[in-house]
Structure 1
């Protein structure tokens, strides 16, 4: 008797029209394609070479300006205009400068739902797995093929199950968990696998926390990350979309290529040292390292709950002299909610600089490029040499709470000392 299917196998099977299993090659129909300003122009150029007048379905395509927004120079302005013009001509959904980061918007606006196959010309498209969708990044040329046909060729990935038991202790967050996972698996430990997250800790976790986990699955080499949808997921999605969807979960007898067990109660805050995401250490091994810039934002940790965590630590305190704290909300909606809640005023009073919703300093294309020899601690997902625009600087990765504590002290600090 055949074994049951994983959530990934079942989602792909539903988009193929027949049962497929890990290792099979197939062509799938696509529910949503996203392109942003750093990769969209190449996609448009490749599409135009086919000399086809229209994309396959403009309602299933989304363009976002977020990587260098507002435009820092004339060249980027030209690329932005290319995307604006193509989107208007084709009737494609378009989010202009200041609306926010593509991955935040795709979920916040209810554009990706449980059971979907959603693709994007960005490696962190895997974020959408938080709602139980199969999502991953593709190249611009592949994306042009999707614009033409609405289909993609792929190999069905095997799945590694990550079971996280118990609850976090105060001062430990989903970002710490995912850094710990990447430290265990290493940068290539999950190559072309899908990471399925489950266990009591995941059940308790907010949707934002689940987004953080899935967002960083690619940093272990994974094709994607996914959290099987539960009632929390379905309620969250229904508030944002009226579109019908077909959630999937893994069968009890599904085959997993490996299973990793983690006790959340045993974790302490984690820090990834330069210049690799898998160079992970407990915060106790990082305390005291001087820092000159702190960045709070990105598709990993720029949501309302992240800003709230940082503000709770910074409230009534000041950013250390000589430290720049840059805050970049993940979306316009996040910024508005943070203003209404008083979070932004708390951060500003502490000495933070708030920059427009978008990717901000993360990709190094503009805003907040660090100086030579400077140390940055960031809530981002990558710390490769040159990632933030200067290959002579050093980037450390940590949770919003650890970043906030570090901003106060001017050196990497344990956030637990600031918790009441």
Structure 2
């Protein structure tokens, strides 16, 4: 029996001709990632174990993004610990305030991940890099510690689910709607410890930003990783970013999958995940009126330039509703600068929005937009668990930048078509 994309990547990094689902392997790592929340724990363990060097100063990276700019003394101390560690061990890829971004938007942008790579990160949304045809997965801080020291990690080889993508997205439907549709279909445990593998003729109609969004939320279906077949879109994205040779792995024709799903992009409608799970997906064919207090447009899921443009398209020459707060967070400094050059920040400010420096901020209930008891937010983030963005009796509704921006204008969950029809 043949191997899936993920199994081929893992076999190559384990130095094996083949691997099978359920097999335990030790794999060589191309990149080890931590942030300002998870790295301090790994650093403490690193010191406790008596390690005196990292395996490769070019292949360890830390990004200060969760509580930055620092919101309190503890977050400042965490960032300082990371800063001192990276300085002391001459770690090349350390990103701090002013030169940072939300980690899972920043690392692909910087060219630190390439097709065929094997990546671990002490953050669950490390699965984002599968958009580039890499195997990437989230791990705990102790695994991050071991990875920094040895350049290796243990894995149980996952089985896989295949998603055959066809068609093209309609106007105002987006990659966020695709992944919410899929999670609504298979559930938050529908891909538990499996690889979600995306291929098919329709991939050519998905940009790299689309793929990064979809792969980012693979973990919300319980997946070990998400991974996209490498094509011309991937190669074009890597050109000028990735400065090293890389290997493209393709699934064998006789690869075994636990399930195969056909996804026609042309049938995807604007979708909203209701509290308190990403699987609670609804389209506007079945949408009650839900008044909102806040909108957040950003995160590692939807803070890239295409997302910012989509929100600006809806908000141009419009103003957000009274008593609604709208916070726009470009995912990286490069996205922020591009948005400024295109006049998008002016659109947001004229619409009554607040524009923030890159940060994870409100996504995890950190800062820059915490919800009070009883408040509701539409967010382009990836999780809407109880208390995710603040008070345990607040509510988060997950949506695309199009839907989030339209909702900010109307003060209730709305689709862009509602505004177009009003005109």
SS at structure 2 position matched to 1:9: helix
Alpha-carbon separation, structure 2, partners of 1:257 and 1:201 = 22
Alpha-carbon separation, structure 2, partners of 1:284 and 1:412 = 13
Which residue is equivalent to 2:131? 130
Alpha-carbon separation, structure 1, partners of 2:388 and 2:196 = 25
Alpha-carbon separation, structure 2, partners of 1:277 and 1:231 = 31
SS at structure 2 position matched to 1:244: coil
Which residue is equivalent to 1:153? 154
Given the alignment of the two structures, is residue 254 of structure 1 paired with residue 255 of structure 2, yes or no?
Answer: yes
SS at structure 2 position matched to 1:339: helix
Q: Deviations over 1:260-298 (max 9, x none)?
A: 112222221110001111111113333521001000000
Q: Deviations over 1:38-77 (max 9, x none)?
A: 1010000011111121111111000010000011111111
Which residue is equivalent to 1:189? 190
Moved more, 163-172 or 39-48: 163-172
SS at structure 1 position matched to 2:361: coil
Instruction: Give the 3 Å change call, closer, same or farther, for CA 34–419 of structure 1 in structure 2.
Output: farther
SS at structure 1 position matched to 2:331: coil
Alpha-carbon separation, structure 1, partners of 2:420 and 2:175 = 17
Given the alignment of the two structures, is residue 47 of structure 1 paired with residue 58 of structure 2, yes or no?
Answer: no
Which residue is equivalent to 2:371? 370
Which residue is equivalent to 1:12? 10
Matched-pair contact (CA < 8 Å) for 1:65–1:95: yes
Which residue is equivalent to 2:163? 162
Which residue is equivalent to 2:207? 206
Alignment of structure 1 residues 25-36 onto 2, 5 Å? 25-36=24-35
| TM-score, length of structure 2 as denominator length | 0.97
> For the aligned residues, what is the CA RMSD?
1.1
Matched-pair contact (CA < 8 Å) for 1:34–1:62: yes
SS at structure 2 position matched to 1:216: helix
Alignment of structure 1 residues 82-97 onto 2, 5 Å? 82-92=81-91, 93-97=93-97
Given the alignment of the two structures, is residue 331 of structure 1 paired with residue 332 of structure 2, yes or no?
Answer: yes
Alpha-carbon separation, structure 2, partners of 1:234 and 1:249 = 14
Instruction: Give the 3 Å change call, closer, same or farther, for CA 246–282 of structure 1 in structure 2.
Output: same
SS at structure 2 position matched to 1:306: helix
Which residue is equivalent to 1:300? 301
Matched-pair contact (CA < 8 Å) for 2:372–2:390: no
Q: Deviations over 1:290-336 (max 9, x none)?
A: 00100000000000000100101111000001000000000000000
SS at structure 2 position matched to 1:59: coil
SS at structure 1 position matched to 2:295: strand
